[in-house]
Amino acid sequence: MNVVVLVKQVPEIALIKVDEAANKVVYPEGPGVVNPQDEYAVEEGLRIKEQTGGKCMVITVGSERAESALRNCLALGVDEAYLLYDDAFTGSDQQAMAKILVAGIRKLDGFDLILAGRAAVDSDASQVPAAVAAGLDIPQAMFVKKFEALGDGQATVFRTTEDGYDVVELKLPAVVSVIKEINEPRLPSLKGKMAAKKKQITKWSAADLGVDGSEVGANSGTKNVSVAPPPPRAKGEFIEGETPDEIADKLFNKLRENQVL
């Protein structure tokens, strides 16, 4: 089975800041990392390839800095990596990113399954995989914790819900986003890392993809009008006393005063 994995390079979350005065998110310098959720999608892609044959490919829309994320995937055993990069893509919202990915996926030499992470940790919208499925007009299943290939162009997935999970049969090709319960991602070997340095990464621009700049980038359908960090947490209060009973009484009265009891 030929599997395409959507991989996003993200900054290290702990280093992201919000500049409220300038109304923007300030991202740290440096190459960033593979979106942690996508590591599960890559692992699943590799396992499916190992079980069924075929190849595992990764594709990303990002800047040239995203190359390091793709090399990390190649080091794990991914066969081919694709970087979709053009100045015209800057400012693309989730739907525009999906449009670019769809153009890239259509240019590949065929695929049976597209895997993605549950969400990108930096903007957390969970829109891209569904938008890619819509763009390709193929079935989708989101938040999957187990994937079983049935053969004959079919698969069964176990899709998590708030109350449990659904078992869904899918016609392939389809788009499946996975959650971290699905597997335990492998680590790259030294040999894999060395081999990844020499592997080729295919780069496609807007012109290569036939993507019209007037539909993506700054011409996206949505605009972020403001950003804000979460409100600071209210200060905690220490309840002091000589004995546990006294502290418990004070706590009880406090809860009463605040109408919690």
Contact call for residue 105 and ligand FAD (CB under 6 A): no
Among 20, 64, 87, 124, binds ligand FAD (CB under 6 A): 124
Among 2, 8, 135, 147, binds ligand FAD (CB under 6 A): 8
Count the site residues for ligand FAD by CB under 6 A.
33
Q: Which stretch binds ligand FAD (CB under 6 A): 118-126, 157-165, 237-245, 253-261?
A: 118-126
Minimum Å distance from CB 3 to ligand FAD? Answer: 13
* Residue whose CB is nearest to ligand FAD in the complex, by number: 117
Contact call for residue 61 and ligand FAD (CB under 6 A): yes
Cβ atoms of residues 128 and 5 within 8 Å: no
Number of Cβ within a 10 Å radius of residue 56 = 26
User: How far apart are the C-alpha atoms of 48 and 3, rounded to whole Å?
Assistant: 8
Contact call for residue 57 and ligand FAD (CB under 6 A): no
Minimum Å distance from CB 150 to ligand FAD? Answer: 24
Strands in the chain per DSSP E? 3-6, 9-10, 17-19, 24-26, 33-34, 56-61, 80-84, 113-117, 140-151, 154-160, 165-171, 174-178, 201-204
- Return the number of the residue (128 or 196) whose C-beta is nearest ligand FAD: 128
DSSP 179-239: -GGG--PPPPPHHHHHHHHHS-EEEE-HHHHT--GGGSGGG-S-------PPPPPPPP---
Among 18, 31, 79, 91, binds ligand FAD (CB under 6 A): 91
225 token code pair: 């009008």
Measured N-to-C along each axis, helices 94-107 and 128-136 cross at an angle, to the nearest 10 degrees, of 50
Which residues, numbered 189-218, are part of the site for ligand FAD (CB under 6 A)?
none
How many degrees, rounded to 5, is the angle at CA 224 between CA 33 and CA 99? 65
Among 11, 32, 54, 62, binds ligand FAD (CB under 6 A): 62
Q: Which amino acid is at 154?
A: Q
Which residues, numbered 127-146, are part of the site for ligand FAD (CB under 6 A)?
127-129
Closest CA to 7 of 90, 74, 55, 87: 74
Minimum Å distance from CB 76 to ligand FAD? Answer: 15
Minimum Å distance from CB 83 to ligand FAD? Answer: 9
Residues near ligand FAD, by CB under 6 A:
6-8, 35, 37-38, 41, 60-62, 90-94, 97, 101, 116-117, 119-120, 122-129, 220, 222-224
